[in-house]
């Protein structure tokens, strides 16, 4: 059975250990650190990016971006992704959040603590590197239990 070392130096902030490594520019964070976003139901999003150059920036309030991904066979690919919303934390109560989807829907949610924390691992994409990096530990999830509200 293959094995790999796990380097947890990048997650030392979450583990409560001193760390000199700067945060990754590719990881977005909340006031609680990394969080899981749990949505009850289905988001209605475009299935593909617009075909014409003039439509690529915004379509129906959704911004399209190119992202690099790695599949299970560790093959890198650039894919279209849609930035579907804006997440806002309540200034008076940071455990309450609002997710605005495009210009027509609003979801109200809450921040909950996970029963068991989860580790975020970055698996190498090159065959020669066998070390897996622990990027962070997730302690919170943002959950939206109710139907979206229309924005008037």
Q: d(Cα 135, Cα 23) in Å, to the nearest integer?
A: 9
Domain boundaries, the chain: 61-152
| DSSP-based three-state secondary structure for 52 | coil
Dihedral of alpha carbons 135, 82, 91, 110, sign:
negative
pLDDT at 84 over 90: no
Q: Are 123 and 111 in contact (CB under 8 A)?
A: no
Confidence of residue 56 (pLDDT cuts 50, 70, 90): very low
pLDDT at 9 over 80: no
* pTM for this predicted structure: 0.62
Q: d(Cα 117, Cα 30) in Å, to the nearest integer?
A: 16
Average pLDDT, integer, range 74-95: 77
What's the confidence (pLDDT) of residue 116? 92
Residues whose CB is less than 8 angstroms from the CB of residue 82 and which lie 6 or more positions away in sequence, other chains included = 45, 46, 49, 62, 63, 64, 65
Structure-block tokens of residue 78: 């650039």
Structure-block tokens of residue 143: 């959950």
């Amino acid at each position: 059975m293959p094995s790999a070392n796990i380097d947890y130096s990048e997650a030392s902030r979450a583990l409560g250990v001193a760390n000199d490594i700067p945060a990754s520019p590719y990881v977005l964070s909340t006031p609680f650190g990394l969080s899981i976003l749990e949505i009850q139901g289905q988001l209605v999003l475009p299935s593909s990016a617009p075909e014409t150059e003039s439509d690529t920036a915004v379509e129906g309030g959704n911004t399209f971006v190119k992202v690099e991904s790695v599949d299970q066979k560790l093959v890198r690919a650039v894919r279209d992704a849609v930035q579907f919303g804006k997440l806002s934390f309540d200034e008076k109560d940071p455990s309450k959040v609002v997710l605005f989807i495009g210009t027509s829907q609003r979801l109200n949610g809450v921040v909950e603590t996970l029963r068991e924390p989860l580790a975020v691992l970055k698996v190498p994409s090159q065959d020669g590197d066998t070390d897996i990096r622990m990027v962070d530990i997730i302690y919170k999830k943002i959950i939206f239990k109710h139907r979206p509200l229309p924005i008037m």
